[in-house]
């Protein structure tokens, strides 16, 4: 290849220093390479030419051949515009410019045939086209042009400075002429023939200048596949290196703690999903490599028991274990549910949070260092430097997306050899996203609920049905059940939210008078001690109704609560609605979730409510959420960087993603270091990939 694609964009014919500067600032285009990888957003079919008498009032993009017969200035001051009369053999229309008039006036030639292109408006009985794209008919016929015209990403600043779509198209043509459209291949011949892909050069030509619809589709498939394939290659290699380089403790045997618990103290029969996940974890713990596993399971699917049984394996091999949760409420709950079980096994377990007092802390620090303390549960208080383990073998992190990367790595460094890591989450991550964001972790999924659990019935009701809903609540309370009523809490409108909560509370107090009914209330403005007091009254069954803002989202377990009412449900995200619903349905009784809304609902809100009513499956809900919100929002900013994709789309192209991951896995299975001769091209491309952060900088 004659042209070096790392050449600065300034040197391309038709660019020059000013344009280069704008392209760098506005679109991040520094080199020829970056320009080649500026892929069009959409395409316009320019095969059709219209006559003026065929134009319709439909606001579409059209192209017309004709000539300009006259130019005039119209209006004063800011409303001043340049108007041209444009005619063909069937009629007359106008062209209008609101900016750049001086330059336009100088460049226009009267009486010469032009091809104009743009959106048309109907005004004062005449069609007009504001700021048309124009070129001389003879130029138009000569150009390297395809029927499908690309529309490139742009910014207001670029358009204002005259770098229109046509200009970008023109410099793209220059680039192809200069490189002779010849780009080095980044996949090996095997893949290309096996997957029936078109060549790299052909794909790049047809993404910018598609000859027809079919070639455009093939070019898109080739480039999307490649983008996913190299990301997957990178993630899977990272995982393989992790396993070969980072030695873990080898937990060789399953001993007394595990077996006694399994045979005598298991509170319920394990589901098949729990058994499968435990098997996967046991294989990791006995493999000489450090475990790095993500455990996903819906609220109530029994992750805690799996966590405990994994910790028992560590204890059986003479190691300590810890479990870290993001909030105090959650860590206390984990501690309470595990304390009973550990007591029966005569295992020492302690809780460490921000509220632990000095003497408790001292005792915990001492017991940890001399090995008396076997399991420690806590919040990020576990990360403090003073907390030193004698030999930490397994660290379990609950809801890890709430911890920063730096915080997590502190846990790693509590030992010379890093402990095994198990990450748990009740937020189902759609498969597609898990493959792209957590592709370097091994993933286990608990996808069935424990036996005896009934699916929660979910309905959507409008405010006008409130009296019926209140009657239903009274019936449930008569049966001895408890009820949550949750109000949204959105920081920006805290006053309004507080007012909603208080209005709601007052109307409930009116309809559910004391002493027959007792009501708890919990919200963000209360002191922690008051919150705990109210929570405890509800947990003990002293109050039948808990009115709250979303503070109860994480972790309170009240098996007797069977109704969840979510007020202004349209103001919640899908995953939040699903998490809230998971607070009920923890006992053996039928539970209900009622979504209350006003009548005015956006399309997205309707989709969210319909999804909640139609399914209890967290993974299905996560897929819809991903479609509505996009990957960046779903993962939070810290992880969306992984998904800064140039052409592929995690949601629309998930089949291609699965295909690419499967393919990357099979290649690495037979050739983990890509050292076979037939993988020479892949090895080179991959080595470039690790050199450049931006994946596309090397792929051509």
Query: What separation in angstroms does the CA of 370 have from each of 319, 388, 414?
Result: 12, 10, 15
Report pLDDT digits (tens) over 122-163. 888 899 999 998 999 988 887 755 567 888 998 888 888 889
Confirm if 577 and 612 have CB atoms less than 8 A apart. yes
Question: Cβ–Cβ contacts within 10 Å for residue 27, how many?
Answer: 18
One domain, residues 403 and 485: no
Q: What is the pLDDT of residue 401?
A: 58
Q: How many domains does the chain divide into?
A: 3
Establish if 462 belongs to a structural domain: yes
User: Could you tell me if 462 and 419 lie in one domain?
Assistant: no
> Which one, of 460, 322, 285, lies nearest residue 397 by Cα?
322
> Among the three residues 126, 144, 162, which one is the final residue of a domain in this structure?
144
pLDDT at 640 over 50: no
pTM above 0.75, yes or no: no
Shared-domain flag, residues 269 and 411: yes
Shared domain for 463 and 355, answered yes or no, is no
On whether both 586 and 474 belong to a single domain, the answer is yes
Strands (E), 298-380: 320-324, 349-352, 375-378
Chain centroid, CA 405 distance in Å: 17
Residue 484 sits in the same domain as residue 384: no
- Quick one: 345 and 393 in the same domain? yes
Domain boundaries, position 68: 47-144
Q: Per mean pLDDT, which range of 55-64, 438-447, 505-514, 552-561 is the poorest?
A: 552-561
Flag whether pLDDT at 642 surpasses 50.
Answer: no
Same domain for 261 and 388, yes or no, is yes
- Rounded CA-CA distance 9/18 in Å is 11
- Residue 183 forms part of a structural domain: no
Q: What is the pLDDT of residue 391?
A: 92
Confirm whether 165 is domain-assigned.
no
Q: Is residue 214 part of a domain?
A: no
- What mean pLDDT is predicted for residues 2-6? 74
Q: Say whether both 415 and 314 belong to one domain.
A: yes
User: Which of residues 615, 642, 657 is at a domain's end?
Assistant: 615
Q: What distance in Å separates the CA atoms of residue 289 and residue 293, rounded to the nearest whole number?
A: 12
What is the CATH number for 590? 3.40.50.300
* Domain final position from 615, 641, 669: 615
Averaged over 296-324, what is the pLDDT?
Answer: 91
Q: What is the CATH number of the domain that holds 84?
A: 2.40.50.140
Name the residue with higher pLDDT: 88 or 638: 88
Per-residue pLDDT tens digits for 455-484: 899 999 999 999 999 999 999 999 999 999
Higher per-residue pLDDT: 124 or 634: 124
Whether residue 634 is contained in a domain is answered as no
Domain shared by 267 and 393, yes or no: yes
525 close to 499: Cβ distance less than 8 angstroms: no
Residue 589: pLDDT band (50, 70, 90) is: confident
3-state secondary structure of 254: coil
Write down the pLDDT at residue 20.
93
d(Cα 218, Cα 225) in Å, to the nearest integer? 10
Residue 133 lies in a domain: yes
Shared domain check, 461 and 407:
no
The pLDDT, as a whole number, for residue 35 is: 94
Q: Both 486 and 415 in a single domain?
A: no
Contact criterion met (CB below 8 Å) for 62 and 86: no
The answer as to whether 86 is a domain residue is yes
Q: What's the pLDDT at 318?
A: 94
- Residue 360 clears pLDDT 90, i.e. is over it: yes
Strand residue runs (E) in 379-441: 392-398, 420-425
Minimum mean pLDDT range among 98-112, 167-181, 205-219, 393-407? 393-407
Q: For residue range 415-447, list pLDDT tens digits in order.
A: 778 899 998 987 777 777 777 667 778 888 888
> So what's the pLDDT on residue 400?
63
What pLDDT shows up at residue 634?
47
pLDDT band at 333 (very low <50, low <70, confident <90, very high): confident
pLDDT 10s digits, 615-625: 988 878 888 88
Q: Cα separation of 100 and 544, whole Å?
A: 71
Domain contains 244 = no
Instruction: State the pLDDT at residue 11.
Output: 92
C-alpha closest to that of 152 among 172, 126, 137: 172
Rounded to an integer, what is the distance from CA 161 to the centroid of its chain?
35
| Mean pLDDT, residues 21-46 taken together | 89
Q: How far apart (Å, rounded) are the C-alpha atoms in residues 666 and 189?
A: 16
Helix (H/G/I), strand (E/B), else coil: 693:
coil
């Amino acid at each position: 290849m004659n042209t070096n694609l790392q050449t600065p964009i300034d040197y391309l014919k038709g660019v020059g220093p000013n344009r280069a500067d704008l392209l760098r600032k506005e679109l991040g285009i520094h080199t020829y390479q970056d320009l080649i990888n500026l892929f069009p957003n959409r395409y316009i079919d320019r095969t059709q030419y219209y006559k003026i008498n065929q134009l319709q009032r439909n606001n579409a993009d059209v192209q017309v051949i004709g000539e300009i017969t006259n130019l005039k200035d119209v209006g004063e001051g800011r409303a001043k515009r340049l108007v041209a009369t444009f005619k063909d053999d069937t009629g007359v229309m106008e062209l209008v410019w609101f900016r750049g008039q001086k330059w336009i006036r100088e460049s226009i030639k009267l009486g010469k045939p032009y091809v104009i292109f743009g959106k048309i408006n109907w005004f004062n009985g005449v069609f007009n086209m504001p700021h048309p794209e124009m070129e001389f008919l003879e130029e138009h016929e000569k150009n390297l042009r395809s029927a499908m015209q690309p529309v490139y990403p742009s910014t207001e600043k670029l358009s204002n400075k005259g770098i229109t779509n046509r200009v970008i198209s023109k410099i793209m043509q220059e680039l192809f002429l200069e490189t002779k459209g010849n780009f080095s291949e980044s996949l090996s011949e095997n893949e290309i023939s096996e997957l029936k892909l078109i060549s790299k050069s052909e794909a790049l030509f047809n993404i910018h200048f598609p000859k027809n619809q079919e070639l455009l589709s093939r070019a898109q498939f080739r480039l999307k596949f490649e983008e996913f394939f190299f990301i997957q290659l990178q993630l899977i290699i990272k995982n393989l290196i992790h396993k070969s380089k980072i030695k873990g403790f080898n937990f060789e045997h399953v001993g007394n703690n595990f077996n006694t618990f399994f045979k005598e103290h298991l509170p319920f029969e394990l589901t098949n999903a729990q058994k499968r996940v435990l098997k996967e974890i046991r294989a990791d713990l006995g493999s000489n490599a450090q475990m790095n596993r993500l455990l996903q399971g819906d609220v109530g699917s029994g992750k805690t028991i799996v966590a405990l049984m994994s910790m028992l394996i560590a204890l059986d091999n003479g190691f300590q274990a810890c479990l870290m949760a993001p909030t105090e409420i959650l860590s206390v709950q984990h501690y309470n549910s595990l304390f009973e079980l550990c007591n029966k096994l005569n295992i020492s377990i302690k809780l460490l949070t921000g509220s632990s007092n000095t003497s408790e802390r001292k005792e915990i620090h001492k017991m940890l260092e001399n090995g008396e303390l076997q399991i420690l549960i806590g919040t990020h208080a576990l990360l403090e430097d003073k907390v030193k383990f004698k030999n930490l073998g397994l660290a379990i992190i609950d809801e890890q997306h709430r911890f920063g990367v730096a915080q997590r790595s502190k846990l790693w460094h509590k030992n010379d050899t890093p402990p095994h890591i198990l990450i748990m989450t009740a937020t189902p991550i759609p498969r597609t996203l898990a493959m792209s964001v957590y592709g370097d972790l091994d993933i286990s999924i608990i996808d069935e609920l424990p036996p005896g659990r009934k699916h929660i019935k979910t309905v959507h009701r409008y405010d006008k049905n409130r009296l019926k809903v209140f009657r239903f609540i009274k019936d449930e309370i008569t049966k001895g059940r408890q009820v949550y009523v949750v109000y949204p809490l959105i920081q920006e409108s805290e006053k309004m939210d507080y007012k909603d909560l208080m209005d709601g509370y007052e109307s409930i107090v009116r309809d559910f008078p004391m002493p027959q009914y007792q009501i708890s209330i919990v919200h963000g403005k209360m002191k922690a001690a008051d919150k705990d007091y109210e929570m405890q009254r509800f947990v003990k069954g002293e109050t039948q109704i808990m009115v709250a803002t979303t503070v109860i989202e994480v972790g309170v377990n009240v098996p007797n609560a069977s109704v969840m009412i979510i007020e202004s449900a349209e103001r919640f995200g899908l995953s939040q609605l699903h998490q809230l619903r998971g607070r009920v349905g923890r006992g053996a009784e039928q539970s209900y979730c009622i979504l209350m809304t006003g009548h005015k609902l956006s399309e997205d809100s309707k989709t969210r409510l319909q999804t909640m009513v139609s399914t209890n499956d967290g993974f299905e809900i996560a897929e819809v959420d991903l479609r509505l919100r996009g990957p960046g929002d779903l993962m939070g900013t810290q992880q969306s960087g992984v998904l800064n994709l140039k052409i592929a789309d995690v949601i629309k192209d998930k089949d291609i993603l699965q295909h690419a991951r499967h393919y990357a896995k099979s290649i690495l299975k037979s050739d983990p270091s890509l050292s076979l001769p037939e993988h020479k091209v892949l090895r080179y491309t991959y080595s470039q990939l690790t050199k450049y952060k931006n994946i596309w900088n090397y792929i051509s």
